[in-house]
Each structure stands twice: as structure tokens, then as C-alpha cells.
Amino acid sequence: MRAAARSFVFNFASKAAQLQRTLVYDLLGLPRDLLFRYRDGVARVAREDVLGAAQRHLHPTQQVLEAVLLALQCVLSFASGVAP
């Protein structure tokens, strides 16, 4: 949340960035104050809100761990008898 608040200023780093954002918002039919709404919404989020959302939606015991390895690395590791 702090990172979002700190990065907010960079949306106004140059006039070109401001113009580009305004044009994109207009093109997509978004409100021009969307960035300010986003900032205000992020500022209202409390630590407890994040914890509650994590507890409702993240279930570590039900998640599947997926490992992706390079095929050649696996072949070489198994051939040498050493696990990757």
C-alpha cells in the first residue's frame, strides 16, 4: 500500500505523462479522476482488511505446488544421481 502511495507522484512526472493518461482514460471511457479514486481507496485499506481477505481467499493447504524445470537440467541431474 505504501508503494502505491509513493508511486502516485510519478503519474505526474511530466506533462506528457499527464496528457497520455488523460487521453487513455478518455479513450477507455474512464473517469478522469480515476487515479485519485484509486489512491484514496488504497489509503483506506487497513492491515486488518488485507489479513481478512487473505484468510477468506488463500488456502495454503489446498494449493498445488507446481515446479517447472529445464528439461536438460533434469536429465543431467538424474543421470549424475543428484536431484535438481
Give the DSSP per-residue string, 17-53.
HHHHHHHHHHHHT--TTHHHHHHHHHHH--HHHHHHH
**68 domain-assigned:** no
pLDDT of residue 82: 61
Q: What is the pLDDT along the chain (84 residues), one digit of tens a residue?
A: 567 666 766 667 788 888 888 899 999 999 989 988 988 998 899 999 999 999 999 988 888 877 776 777 777 777 776 655
Structural domain boundaries, residue 25: 2-59
- CA angle, corner 12, sides to 5 and 14, nearest 5? 145
CA distance linking residue 80 with residue 77, whole number of Å: 5
Q: Let me know if residue 10 belongs to a domain.
A: yes
**Domain assignment of residue 64, yes or no:** no
Rounded to two decimals, the pTM is 0.53
Q: Structural domain tally of the chain?
A: 1
The answer to whether position 24 is within a domain reads: yes
Q: What is the pLDDT of residue 45?
A: 92
Assess if residue 76 is contained within a domain.
Answer: no
> Residue 82 domain-assigned?
no
